Structure 1
Amino acid sequence: MRMIFEPNFKKAEQAAYQLHEIANITALPVKVRKIDKHFKDLKIKPYKWFAKEWGITHEETIRLLGSDEGCCFHWKQQDIYLVLYNEKVENQARIRWTIAHELGHYMLKHNLKSQRSILGRGGVPDKEYDMYEKEANCFARNFLAPPVVITNLPHWDTYLIGELCNISFEASTHTFEFYKNGKKIGVRYSLGSKIGLRFKQFVFKVSNKKYCKNCNVSFVSETARFCECCGSDQLTRTLFLNQGDDIEMIYPVVYSADESGKVNICPRCLNEEMHPAGDFCPQCGLEVVNRCDDISYYSNHAPVFNCEAVLSPNQRHCHVCGCQSTFLRNGVLEPWEKIKEKAGQTTVLSEGFSKNPSL
């Protein structure tokens, strides 16, 4: 009886989504080298580890495993699977794809189906080997660059896919062409699906990231017209996660706020007992809601909030009108220039609040 070997791409796609769920992956790029911690019968190791365990050279390892890039090896004596990769491959993005590809063999149980410890051309019929390879590549594409993420971005191309997913130019080119052709024939991936809901927050973050050309910070906002850090209107939309200093890292939120914007600890006197109906610290009188400082006053000194935007605790400027925040005016927050000067362009601060806010 003649065997027919047709790749099951749907099964490979679902296996990738299953691994997203097992490893609780909700953002990109996927940390492929840490996947083995979720399985008792799987280890991800470099060739140098394998060479040392078996007492052989690097070149002998390549010959034994039948690949100069990587393989999925079933170690029958220990009943474990080894996803092995050649750490000497210079392109780290290519190594990531190799690991994901071999994870595909593991998740799809190709070693078990082929009854081979190592899958390799010559060990199984060519058509069967090609079927396994196509399924593993399909798995790697969906695992590292899930289409529900890529195709729901406002713009996507080869370069973005490569940067966002940390995959090689070759892999990102094939991925882009595949998703583009799918879109042409009406293939759609909903953020309301099970896999879509897993990445929905990440898609929102990437789609709404703003970069300030003036102070070199980035932050997430759907509606911001001005920089939350310096008040500049020199904002651009960026889909690249590494563009600019993350405002949450350089200027972190030290004190959390409730739904009304009130912080849980007074930044000035560190009082933790706030009156539920008031917006001022009962101990030192500091307003504990960070607002837009676009304020004018009546003759009786009653404030009129012209903008009325309530800001997050680490905002130095209003994202709606660009005016300074009340926390910046009151000395609760230090000016962004001073923070940058002390921290340097890429240093992460442990605290973004002034140690001596003015009374």
Structure 2
Amino acid sequence: MRIPEKPRYAYACQKSAEFLLDSGSNTLPLNILHAAKKYKWALTPYSQLAAEHHVTIGEVCGAFQSYDGYTVFHSGNYCIAYNDSRQFICNKKRIYFTLLHEFGHIYLHHFTDFDQTMLNRNGLSGREYQVLEEEANCFARNVAAPPTLIQHLQDYDLTRLSELFNLSFTAAKTRLYTLHRDAKYFLPEQNLNLSDRFDQFLNGMECEQCGRYFVSPGSNFCVFCGSKRIRHSRQIKGLPAGIRLNADKQAVKCVKCGNAQINPSDPHCRFCGTALYNDCAPTVCDVNGAPLLQLPCSKGAHLDGYMRYCPYCGNETTFLQEHLLTT
């Protein structure tokens, strides 16, 4: 097969999503060492090659005709060499993108799909080389910062994107410039799967008052103590089990009486009246605990089984008011 006339952006974007989902990662930046180990791709710094062959790193760059990195394909095995000289070690974001770029060359089958298998300027014409470079760059930026995640965050500040996704300022600027073009190439199911996989990365929150961690998009309040002192947390942590719910966020059985004969239309247990959904609840009650005012927030969404307070308005939840949450 011949190298295409133009970069296959749709192919590169869809393969980037496939790679990211297959990697098993649920947070970003991607763990390069884990990914390389999973696919059995060797990583070798230029300094190691220079020491082994008694040459300078500059001479290694000249031999590979690449200042950043280079991939060697031999007998079905891949070895990625990358520049770890002092100026590069001080810019780890550049090394990160270089390695993702080389991952792209491999994952896009640049070494095996084409008649011209030597990926260097001697084996390819200038146009052919540039086409493959564009595809690898497209793959790299979409693995580093998938459009659907950026669009979910609704944060287009270059400095914050650079820090969040481990991109240099220049790479972050290119990411934003190509965002809408790349976004249209992803399959709908890929976007859904990416959003689901990176749910905690996108929506993880930590309370500065009680120190608890929870996951809820658009949160304004801590779901454990009701405090407004919450912040995003990109560190993935475990969540409390809470009350077991089904896919519709209805309790699979009554917490109080153990009744498991529950219909999807049942908001309360048919035997004891206990709530089966954890909802934003009125907080103004009489002396007997009965609500005086029906003041749930406008979100109207059923909440997770461990939440004591509504993440949107700070009201108590039905499970808390009915003393169903014990831990």
| Aligned partners of 1:147 and 1:189 also within 8 Å | no
**Matched residue, 1:81:** 78
Map of 1:268-283 to 2, 5 A cutoff?
Answer: 274=258, 276=260
Map of 1:56-95 to 2, 5 A cutoff?
Answer: 59=57, 61-76=60-75, 79-88=76-85, 89-90=88-89, 91-95=91-95
- SS of 1:229's partner is coil
Map of 1:236-315 to 2, 5 A cutoff?
Answer: 241-242=233-234, 249=238, 252-254=239-241, 257-259=244-246, 274=258, 276=260, 294=283, 296=285, 304=291, 312=304, 314-315=306-307
| Aligned partners of 1:261 and 1:311 also within 8 Å | no
| Aligned partners of 1:46 and 1:87 also within 8 Å | no
CA 175–311 in structure 1, closer or farther in 2 if over 3 Å, else same: closer
**Matched residue, 2:272:** none
Q: Quick check: 1:126 aligned with 2:126? A: yes
| Aligned partners of 1:191 and 1:199 also within 8 Å | no
CA 107–319 in structure 1, closer or farther in 2 if over 3 Å, else same: closer
1:138 maps to a residue whose letter is: C
Between the aligned partners of 1:188 and 1:322, the Cα distance in structure 2 is: 35
Map of 1:26-175 to 2, 5 A cutoff?
Answer: 28-39=28-39, 42-47=40-45, 51=49, 59=57, 61-76=60-75, 79-88=76-85, 89-90=88-89, 91-112=91-112, 113=114, 115=116, 117=118, 119-175=119-175
For normalisation by structure 1, the TM-score amounts to 0.62
| Aligned partners of 2:14 and 2:186 also within 8 Å | no
For structure 1, the residue ranges without an aligned partner over 5 or more in a row are: 267-272, 280-286, 334-352, 354-359
| Aligned partners of 2:105 and 2:136 also within 8 Å | yes
Aligned-residue offset at 1:67: 3.1
- Structure number with higher relative contact order (C-alpha < 8 Å, ≥ 6 residues apart): 2
Between the aligned partners of 2:22 and 2:45, the Cα distance in structure 1 is: 26
| Aligned partners of 2:70 and 2:82 also within 8 Å | yes
2:225 maps to a residue whose letter is: C
Between the aligned partners of 2:243 and 2:199, the Cα distance in structure 1 is: 22
CA 99–277 in structure 1, closer or farther in 2 if over 3 Å, else same: same
1:51 maps to a residue whose letter is: L
Between the aligned partners of 2:15 and 2:312, the Cα distance in structure 1 is: 44
| Aligned partners of 1:307 and 1:321 also within 8 Å | no
**Matched residue, 2:271:** none
Between the aligned partners of 1:4 and 1:329, the Cα distance in structure 2 is: 64
For structure 2, the residue ranges without an aligned partner over 5 or more in a row are: 263-267, 269-274
Between the aligned partners of 2:25 and 2:60, the Cα distance in structure 1 is: 32
2:68 maps to a residue whose letter is: E
Map of 1:317-356 to 2, 5 A cutoff?
Answer: 317-319=309-311, 322=314, 353=327
Between the aligned partners of 2:99 and 2:178, the Cα distance in structure 1 is: 21
**Matched residue, 2:196:** 201
Can you list the C-alpha shifts for 1:259-306, whole angstroms capped at 9, x where unaligned? 477699x9xxxxxx9554899xxxxxxx999897947455xx575597
**Matched residue, 1:344:** none
- SS of 2:80's partner is strand
CA 72–314 in structure 1, closer or farther in 2 if over 3 Å, else same: same
- SS of 1:151's partner is helix
2:23 maps to a residue whose letter is: A
- SS of 1:99's partner is helix
1:135 maps to a residue whose letter is: E
Map of 1:217-228 to 2, 5 A cutoff?
Answer: 219-222=214-217, 224-228=219-223
Between the aligned partners of 1:22 and 1:311, the Cα distance in structure 2 is: 30
1:231 maps to a residue whose letter is: G
